[in-house]
Amino acid sequence: MPTLGRATMNKPNQHKPPSFGALVQSFFADYLTQQRGLSARTVAAYRDAFLLFLEFAQTQLHKAPTAMQFSDLTPALIMAFLDHLEVDRHNSIRSRNARLAALRTFLKFVAHKDVASLHIVEQALGVPMKRFERPMLGFLTREEMLAVIGTPGVGWVSQRDVLLLALMYNTGARVSEVIGVKVADVVLAPAACVHLHGKGRKQRSVPLWRSTVRLLRAWLRLNPDLDPASALLPNREGQAMTRSNVTQRLSLAVQAATRTQPSLAGRRISPHTLRHSTAMHLLQSGVDISVIALWLGHESPTTTHQYIEADLAMKEKALSRLQDPGIVARRFRADDSLLDFLKTL
């Protein structure tokens, strides 16, 4: 049996930790795109956050990003960066939190790649998100929504726009999801549904209402040349509509709807308002919140819970209007013995 030399036996098994630059490259090139399967839009948002952070760190640490070490990511540096975003760059709290979320995702990635850096990761993850007052969700009433969708006219653009808005309302789809729908994604029988390709390359199937099915059948009869791989809602050049196309067509539809729904005048109504409207109308119709989460493709239940809070706020506002303004509400006044009891607690 061969014997090991003294040098071989005494040589320690040293593990060289990956460099900061190598971790960043692996995070973007492998983890976000290959393992997480995030969209190009999300990866770009993470990239922008890192560009801002590395530029700030370079001025604070007086070293190039390639010379940085993972141990440089101290809570103090991260907090200073977040203050820089709010004070110097005038970022909103929401944007500030989004930048921090990108850094926290990177920190958790490093924790799996380099166990020796766990203590640094734990300290850096202690930097909290900043709380802020969320504005009440904007949504349309059922009557306003139907007025915005309108009635299809004889023209090609008119029929496409009505189908676009009806499909967005039916499915609660994000803009990226509705413009990404192919003809093959539409199932009209036996159970009508549409397959949506959502955030993080997640797919979900959403049932279609009968009114939406009728619009789809009419659209496909009008466009017999659309093959399964074609965009369901193309522009005049036959390509998929863009985000700006959808925003423009919605704006025109809202302008037309103000003739029958004056309450729409002067309001900022975005494609996401239609998504909020879908969720609120489902909730008000008695649909379970877990079903709404699946309908909208929410990854976190807390995202769906905001619709419950908005609905409760709306009901409280309606309740306050029901109270007779001539009646002065009496405040409860405890007797002395009860007051004395409460003071002892």
Instruction: Decide if 275 is catalytic.
Output: yes
As a whole number of angstroms, the distance between CA 7 and CA 63 comes to 38
Amino acid at the residue 237: E
User: 């423009």: which residue's tokens?
Assistant: 248
For the chain, list the domains and their CATH numbers: 20-125 (1.10.150), 142-321 (1.10.443.10)
Question: Which among 160, 174, 249, 276 is annotated as catalytic?
Answer: 174
User: What are the φ and ψ backbone dihedral angles of 173, each rounded to 5 degrees?
Assistant: -70, 145
Known catalytic membership, residue 307: yes
**Annotated catalytic residue 31:** no
pLDDT score at 144? 96
pLDDT for residue 27: 94
Catalytic, out of 31, 46, 169, 307: 307
Q: What residues contact 151, with CB distance under 8 A and at least 6 apart?
A: 162
Cα–Cα dist 228/20, whole Å? 46
The C-alpha torsion from 293 through 294 and 298 to 299, rounded to 10°, is 110
Distances (CA, A) of 12 to 4, 7, 9, 116: 14, 10, 8, 17
> What tokens were used for 74?
């101290």
Among 243, 236, 222, 226, smallest CA distance to 182 is for 226
Angle CA(95)–CA(242)–CA(173) in degrees, nearest 5? 70
Report whether 42 contacts 200 (CB < 8 A): yes
Is the distance from CB of 216 to CB of 170 less than 8 angstroms?
A: no
pTM: 0.63
Active site residue 281: no
Q: Where are the alpha helices (DSSP H) in the chain?
A: 6-10, 20-26, 40-61, 75-87, 93-113, 118-125, 142-149, 156-171, 175-179, 210-222, 243-257, 271-284, 289-296, 301-322, 336-343
Main-chain dihedrals φ then ψ at residue 182, nearest 5 degrees: -100, 165
Could you tell me the mean pLDDT of each successive run of 10 residues in the chain, 345 residues long? 48 68 92 86 92 95 92 95 95 92 95 89 93 72 95 92 97 94 95 87 89 96 95 94 96 95 93 92 86 83 68 57 50 55 53
pLDDT of residue 39: 80
Q: What is the pLDDT of residue 7?
A: 47
Rg (the chain; Cα; Å):
28
Q: Residue 338 has what pLDDT? A: 53
Is residue 169 flagged as an active site residue? no
Q: Please pick, among 99, 160, 275, 276, the residue that the annotation labels catalytic.
A: 275
- Exactly one of 113, 197, 199, 204 is catalytic; which is it? 199
Residue among 272, 276, 317, 333 flagged as catalytic: 272
Return the pLDDT at 309. 66
What pLDDT is recorded for position 198?
80
Count of positions (residues) in the chain: 345
**Phi and psi angles of residue 79, each rounded to the nearest 5 degrees, phi first:** -65, -40
Given the residues 84, 96, 160, 298, select the one marked as catalytic.
Answer: 298
Q: What is the dihedral of CA 167, 170, 176, 178, to 10 degrees?
A: -30
